[in-house]
Each structure stands twice: as structure tokens, then as C-alpha cells.
Amino acid sequence: MCFVMTSSIKKNSLNLSGYKEIRIKISYLNLAAKCWGNPEGMPLLGFHGWLDNAATFDHLAPLLEEFLLVSLDLPGHGFSDHRPPGSSYHFIDMIVDALEVLNCLDWDRFSLIGHSMGAGIASYLAGTVPDKIDSVILIDGLGSITQKAETSPETLFEASREWMKLSDKKLPVYPDFETAVKVRHSVGSISESSVKTLVARGIKPVVGGFSWNSDPRLKSKSRYYFTEEQSLAFLQRIKAPVLLIDAESRKKDFWKESYRKRIPYIKNFHHSIINGDHHLHLDNPETVAAVIREFVNKYIKNEF
């Protein structure tokens, strides 16, 4: 059982077009999302990065008006529900969440866009239901962090120790919005305007000021990781054209070096490296939009 509820159109931060707030009820969670674009456009489901939220596409979406872009707040992020008490956050569970969302949206065919962790979700979703995907757009990410099988016992032990200490942790409280922005801005290379976009959807009023919406359990160490062989099994099943947009400034990053080794396993792969850092789609949306539009016009044949 699922349903989709929409609210009135609002103006986004660029004042180029409006968006709708959406609530999507899946089997055990209410998920929030933002929706932009042409109702008759190409369906595009969006996934944000770890501890970000649906506003990750606020600067990019108004520049892609040929799409109907639905950007999710993944479970435990933004305005979406947290997982039930006693539950933990497994990366692969978000693939199932996404499939439930797509069932609610009643999209027969669609494209995917994801940033960072969201790029991993899009990668594996495209390998899970390859016959339904028209295109895959990945921003600074491909697949997920993997580990060797023999490290699994140690990973589980460390994750369990963190889990048992979780109740001792307290969320930080900031006296005002500006302080929260300053704290977030100090972590990673991202423009202040982009930080404000994410923080506006990522905090809530509490006694004494503001704190994060995100579930503290998201910061717990994962109990399980795919092996590299498992990751490649998903990537090899992708049939749709795949566009990876990389940030130039991070070309020597260890994580990027590891995921670039996966590129040969994707059949219909296209690569673009542009100026920017990890949140290049927020900091440099015009260039990212131009690259996406060129890719779509050249490789996507479906008519809408």
C-alpha cells in the first residue's frame, strides 16, 4: 500500500521555476521529496549524499526543465521519517526503499541521478532493474565503499561496539541558523550558498536553538559492506547509458581512484570531468546541467 501527496508549488532559491513538496508513503515509512519540472517530461528520480537531503538538486533542477525530477529525502534525512527504534541503516535497504517509491510513482520507465552516496544507490538500482532504466547520471560517485570478505568479522565487531554506545551520544544544538551553516561549511569544500541550501532543509528548531533533522544512527559504522566482486556484479548488469560527472579538484582522491577502476565493467559509459569539488552540482549547476543535457540529447532515444 502506498500513496503520494503533493503540496502547493513554491519558488526555489534561484527563482527560475517552482517546485512541489511531496510525501510518499511506502510500507513502513513516510518519505519526503521535492519535485520540479514538466509533468510530461522524462521521469528522473534523484538521490542525495550521506547526511545531505533532497535540496541537493535545488540549484540544478530548475536548469533541467525537460525532466520531471523527484528528489528524495532518504530515510533518516531531511523531512523523511527515521527508521523505527532498534533499526539500523543498511545501504542496500535504500535500494528497496527506492523500488517502493517507484511503485508509488507508477513510473514504467525512468532515469536516475545521484550524488556521492546517492550515486551508489543509483548504480545498484540500475543493476537491479536494468530493463526499466533509460539513463543513469552519477555525480562524484560510482558504486559504494567495498571491503574484502575476510574483514567482515572485524567490521561487525566495531559496528556493534558503536551501536551499544549510541544512546550516550547527544545531538549538538546551535543557537541560530548562521552557526549551523558555519559548522557545516567547515566540513568539506563547498560554497556558503550551497551550505545554506542544504542546512535550510537539514535542521529543526529545538530547545535552545537548532539541531539536525538527520537520524544520529546514520553516523554509526556500517555492519556490512559489499565485496568488490558483489559491487561489480551490479554494475555489469546496467544496460542504460551511464554518465559519470567528476569534480576536477578531487581527481587524486583515494575513493575516486578506487571507483574509477570500476568503469570498464559498465557497457555504455560516458565520462565528464569539470571544475568543482564534491558538491559541484550545487556550486556549479550551469556547467553540470549543460553536460547532462548534451548527454541526454545524444544518447537517450525515448520520446515523452
Which grid coordinates are listed for 184? 557545516
Span 14-18, mean pLDDT? 48
At residue 256, the pLDDT reads 73
At residue 249, the pLDDT reads 76
Which grid coordinates are listed for 295? 548527454
At residue 16, the pLDDT reads 38
Which grid coordinates are listed for 101? 517509491
Query: Does residue 195 lie within any of the structural domains?
Result: no
At residue 166, the pLDDT reads 85
200 pLDDT band (50/70/90 cuts)?
very high
Query: Does residue 136 lie within any of the structural domains?
Result: yes
- Assign residue 116 the CATH number of its domain: 3.40.50.1820
Query: Does residue 160 lie within any of the structural domains?
Result: no
What letters, b where the CB count within 10 A reaches 16 and e where it falls short, cover 251-267? eeeeebeebeebeebbe
How many Å is the maximal CA-CA distance in the chain?
A: 54
In this predicted structure, the answer to whether residue 85 has a pLDDT above a threshold of 70 is yes
| Alpha helices in 143-191, H assignment, sequence order | 152-165, 177-185
In this predicted structure, the answer to whether residue 112 has a pLDDT above a threshold of 80 is yes
DSSP string covering 35-80:
EEE-TTSEEEEEE--TT--GGGGTTTGGG-TTEEEEEE--TTSTTS
What is the number of other CB atoms lying within 10 angstroms of the CB of residue 24? 25
Q: Is the dihedral of CA 95, 101, 106, 109 positive or negative?
A: negative
Residue 244's domain comprises: 3-148+226-299
Mean pLDDT of the chain, nearest integer: 91
Q: Active site includes 116?
A: yes
Which grid coordinates are listed for 73? 529525502
The pLDDT tens digits of the residues spanning 206-226 come to 999 999 999 999 999 999 999
- The domain tally of the chain equals 1
DSSP tag of 264 = G
**Contact (Cβ atoms closer than 8 angstroms) between residue 112 and residue 47:** yes
Query: Does residue 158 lie within any of the structural domains?
Result: no
Query: Does residue 216 lie within any of the structural domains?
Result: no
Query: Does residue 208 lie within any of the structural domains?
Result: no
Span 64-79, mean pLDDT? 96
283 pLDDT band (50/70/90 cuts)?
very high
93 pLDDT band (50/70/90 cuts)?
very high
Closest to 201 measured CA to CA, from 53, 15, 76: 53
Q: What is the pTM of this model?
A: 0.93
Amino acid at 245: I
Instruction: Report the C-alpha gap between 244 and 271 in whole angstroms.
Output: 5
- Measured CA to CA in angstroms, residue 257 lies from 234, 243, 299 at distances of 19, 17, 26
The pLDDT tens digits of the residues spanning 234-260 come to 999 999 999 999 988 765 566 677 888
Beta strands in 160-303 (DSSP E): 203-206, 209-212, 242-247, 269-274
In this predicted structure, the answer to whether residue 17 has a pLDDT above a threshold of 60 is no
At residue 188, the pLDDT reads 78
Instruction: Report the C-alpha gap between 193 and 223 in whole angstroms.
Output: 35
12 pLDDT band (50/70/90 cuts)?
very low
Query: Does residue 199 lie within any of the structural domains?
Result: no
In this predicted structure, the answer to whether residue 5 has a pLDDT above a threshold of 80 is no
At residue 252, the pLDDT reads 58
At residue 1, the pLDDT reads 56
Among candidate residues 116, 135, 211, 231, the one labeled active-site is 116
The pLDDT tens digits of the residues spanning 152-190 come to 999 999 999 999 988 777 789 999 999 999 999 998 789
Q: Give the position of cell 568503469.
A: 263
At residue 168, the pLDDT reads 73
At residue 259, the pLDDT reads 84
